[in-house]
Amino acid sequence: MTESIHIANQQLQRKETSSLALAQSALGRLSDPAGEGSRTFTRVYASQALSAAKEADARRKSGAQCSPIDGLPISIKDLFDVAGEVTTAGSSVLQTQPPAPADAEVVARLKGAGAVIVGKTNMSEFAFTGVGMNPHFGTPANPYDRSRRRIPGGSSSGAPVSVADGIAMAAIGTDTGGSVRIPAALCGLVGFKPTQRRIPRDGVFPLSPTLDSVGPIARTVSCCAAVDAVLAGERYQPKPVELRSLSLAIPRNYFLDDLQAEIARAFESAVRKLSMAGAHVNDMVMPEVEQIAEVNSRGGISAPEAYAFHRRLGAEFSQYDPLVRERILRGKEISAADYLDMLNTRELLIRNFNASRSDWMFLLCPTVPIVAPEIAVLEQSPELYRRTNRLLLRNPSVVNFLDGCALTIPCHEPGSAPVGLMLIGRAMEDLRVLNAGLAVEDILARDSN
């Protein structure tokens, strides 16, 4: 499948391919027994995808086009409602729940934009880990170093694999503490976490209503921007910024702790390239993160919100993935007073963060501090799994806590382990982050070719 949405649209306009051919290719890759399709998807919409592709070809023939993603294969995470289906959220426990009465608003917008939805992607059960392993449906292997079967990252674990393996042009995931950006970074792709309120969450299985966001994973920043515009119901015209106008700040506390050597090398190399290209890069200390770390050490906001939901759900906790269950049940021990204190702390830190008038436009840091470890190693050690999960969530979760937006862009050398560079903006600076991301991506890609 072609590299980007822009190129795909050019090929469709020149009649070098068709939406039907793209859908057939996607479904062929998905069903290849030698591939990861059976672990990447929990549900496949083969007949619906082919029908939607034919309709897109007919529209194009008549001179009409719904959007930049019209007729392109897209995957959706297994926690978005599709009318008439049970939403299983990566769990075997929910299969007896009532079917969804309607499509999630995000799904409706994708369909209205002409997207060819090929299926629902696998995920960490109930979206509650950044590792991406799933004992119910299996774990799709990271496209990098596949012989060693590394984790894809989570919780949107099947999403990046669907893109990397050419099954989807873009994947729609959710991000509560990094669940779009973590798998994108570990799999060498671009992932965008928008400001929460820009994208509707109606019909999305919740983890934490306070922190949940919906965002895309794709091969390029422009691909993510095109999909984000559909999800947000907005129009987006790419406007790459001049790098010399960019002021970037690197928080040297917290975000750069315990970096693996591969991450440190790739990050410092990326910073050097951006500086040489004219960006203004400065170091800073970000005091807010110490308070955020303290809140998260007490279980965080997600745990009590998840426990409250799952308690009402009526499912049998004993059937949950044990490593997910322990995180949910931790919320049972958090008092109402402590929960309210955490929310109040968050509101105060958001105000301070948004009101800051420092000499920076965006923050810059590694998306995650480690490269993807092997699935088998984590299966053998629950304690290593827990430590890995904490490390993966550490940097990206700050953005959700501060109600910001962020983009992860690959910054590793070709052939080496994927490393993500995270560009962070304040709330509602989404389009500025995407435009800055276009310029950053161009410099990093140009230098590595």
**Hey, what are 423's tokens?**
């560009």
**Hey, what are 220's tokens?**
């390029």
- Cβ neighbours of residue 344 closer than 8 Å, sequence gap 6 or more: none
- Where helices occur in 277-334 by DSSP H, the ranges are 288-297, 302-313, 322-330
- Check residue 141 and report its DSSP letter: P
How do the residues of the chain divide into helix, strand and coil, expressed in percent and rounded to 5?
45, 15, 40
Report the C-alpha gap between 300 and 400 in whole angstroms: 12
Among residues 156, 179, 208, 302, the one annotated as catalytic is 179
Report the C-alpha gap between 234 and 118 in whole angstroms: 24
Question: Is-contact 384 159, C-beta < 8 A?
Answer: no
Report the C-alpha gap between 87 and 125 in whole angstroms: 12
Query: Is 155 an annotated catalytic residue?
Result: yes
Query: Is 302 an annotated catalytic residue?
Result: no
State the CB neighbour count (10 A cutoff) for residue 244: 11
Among residues 155, 156, 157, 162, the one annotated as catalytic is 155
Among residues 19, 75, 77, 397, the one annotated as catalytic is 77
Query: Is 124 an annotated catalytic residue?
Result: no
- Alpha carbon distances (Å) from 146 to 134, 400, 446: 17, 31, 26
| Tokens 């939901």 belong to residue | 309
Active-site amino acid positions: 77, 155, 179
